[in-house]
A and B are shown apart, each in its own frame.
Chain A
């Protein structure tokens, strides 16, 4: 049933569908607020209301009644391996990912460098964090792919973490769950 709802609302033209999820009062409030800011055309207002309101309530989003269908994978890798990992993930059909530059340390506890003749320890080493949300069936394959593509065999190669993912929403269309990935 939830699935039907998502599909029905995938088309932004079917406004009624979204309105049905929001109380009249909430709709009005949101509209007034946004229009006061001078940001809103009526059409845009509808979209924003939809996005703001949807995550509320347990029914919305990608939780399947049968259980977890999505996984969220976070990998901390050597910055120089990003290109290889990206290409490998594209190769197995991953459609999108997020990266950020981060700093941290593991068992290695940073490393020693010399600057102008004085030794010092860099406590937080630069790494790249990759975040990718995937269908649960794909998770093992993604983890394995990242592992192979980012491995140099040396200390400091990083780690991969996998989380259960309870919800996903594509902001533009309102699709939720695995369809939003």
Chain B
């Protein structure tokens, strides 16, 4: 009778079920039939909500770090890119990323291409579920889609304040339908990087560095904002709204628990639940380490704490722990995150020296800290080795950068990706959208 009770449970009710059998001694030893399926699906949904909210975090962070005259455009891009990712991942991305052993080029290219994502039937019976030992297909799709969208969010911040809307969305479509899923299949789809023994738990390389490489390629093709590098000097363009940027960072911090915690991909056993818990705690520790490291370093180097660097530092700490949030102790996680913060403080001015204009610091945070996080895996996980990690970082990096550069260049030749200098000075809000963020406020240049 209890079995039929559980099989009838809706996914949403499963959390209550967890509490129910945890409290009943008779069920303390094992999870009831279908319990694993239900609990795993709940993990995906819960973590998926959190990762979805990271889209809001990116949006607020970027809206705060651009100048007021480009705010509406940045909000528009974030809303549109998230939606574009949902379409691209549905159309070909999901099946390109998860071939389930069905390769057209072994370990490299899915045979399920081009094929749209398909969910299980309405009210599917346990026998008819795609994988009763794992989770519902739609919960897996939903969770993975959010990662894909996060990759695209990374790009928009770097290219802010000067890129046209539609060419940017065209690149986003290609990134989310093709570039991201293809390279992700090499690791998470069971492809050749996975066979090699490459370890990347939640995507320091697969998600964050890929977003960073795509952003870097875009920044090189697009060029710096007008007036950013003048007479050999860097001209800072301070963000309009640091409370929004801070809100966005805290939202990302929160969302990261889903990002890393959900990547355990299982919650149906005591050890899985304990691992998810470890991951939450380590993820938090790394963010704390990253933000404090940035605060201390900016105080030492610039005599004043730079909040924007502290925000970037927290995010770099999160990216750094993403490749291996499970095995480190809390102390080691804090240190790994701290190195992420250190990377930000050094690499932000370094990029400026190279005249690569990254408005929100996405390249230091996601690309450089992502590489660091991937390299840090063997420090605490004996299954990983430095050689494989380095080779994998290089393969994913070379592929993503090269194809992104080609796509950006082609879009630039056909459509042009950059607004005119006059429109840039006026601000994209007025020039491209004719809608200001704060029409009632007086403006200063």
Chain A residues close to B by CB (< 8 Å)? 103, 114-118, 120, 124
Contacts and interface: CB of A to CB of B under 8 A. Distances in A.
B364 to A, nearest CB: 10
Nearest to B228: A118
A118 B352 contact: yes
Contacts of B236: 115-116, 118, 120
A74 B149 CA distance: 55
Contacts of B306: 114-117
Contacts of A116: 236, 306, 308-309, 348-349, 352, 361
Contact of B304 (A103, A114, A118, A120): A114
Interface size, B (range): 10 to 19
B235 A117 contact: no
Contacts of A117: 301-302, 306, 309, 345, 348-349, 352
Contacts of B444: 103, 124
A124 B234 CA distance: 19
Interface string B235-266: 11010000000000000000000000000000
A17 B309 CA distance: 68
B133 to A, nearest CB: 49
SS of A interface (majority): strand
A115 B228 CA distance: 13
B349 A115 contact: no
A103 B348 CA distance: 30
A103 B302 CA distance: 25
B234 to A, nearest CB: 4
A124 B444 CA distance: 10
Nearest to A126: B444
Contacts of A103: 444
A115 B242 CA distance: 12
Interface in B46-75: none
Interface of B: 233-236, 238, 301-302, 304, 306, 308-309, 345, 348-349, 352, 361, 444
The list of the 5 closest CB pairs from A to B, nearest first, reads A117-B349, A115-B236, A118-B234, A114-B302, A120-B236
A124 B306 CA distance: 21
Nearest to A118: B234
Contacts of B302: 114, 117
Most B C-beta atoms less than 10 A away, residue of A103, A114, A116, A124 = A116
B352 A120 contact: no
Most A C-beta atoms less than 10 A away, residue of B302, B309, B349, B352 = B302
Given A114-B304, A118-B235, 13 more contacts: A103-B444, A115-B306, A116-B236, A116-B306, A116-B308, A116-B309, A116-B349, A116-B352, A117-B345, A118-B234, A120-B234, A120-B235, A124-B444
Nearest to A117: B349
B257 to A, nearest CB: 28
Nearest to A114: B302
B211 to A, nearest CB: 20
Nearest to B309: A116
29 contacts: A103-B444, A114-B302, A114-B304, A114-B306, A115-B306, A115-B308, A116-B236, A116-B306, A116-B308, A116-B309, A116-B348, A116-B349, A116-B352, A117-B301, A117-B302, A117-B306, A117-B348, A117-B349, A117-B352, A118-B233, A118-B234, A118-B235, A118-B236, A118-B349, A118-B352, A120-B234, A120-B235, A120-B236, A124-B444
Contacts of A115: 236, 238, 306, 308
B104 to A, nearest CB: 45
Contacts of A120: 234-236
Contacts of B361: 116
A106 B181 CA distance: 57
Contacts of B234: 118, 120
A115 B345 CA distance: 11
Most B C-beta atoms less than 10 A away, residue of A103, A117, A118, A124 = A117
Most B C-beta atoms less than 10 A away, residue of A114, A115, A120 = A115
Most B C-beta atoms less than 10 A away, residue of A103, A114, A124 = A114
Nearest to B442: A101
Contacts of A118: 233-236, 349, 352
Nearest to B235: A120
B303 to A, nearest CB: 8
B363 to A, nearest CB: 13
A104 to B, nearest CB: 12
A116 B361 CA distance: 9
A90 B306 CA distance: 39
A103 B234 CA distance: 23
Nearest to B302: A114
Contacts of B238: 115
Contacts of A124: 444
A116 B311 CA distance: 11
A116 B351 CA distance: 11
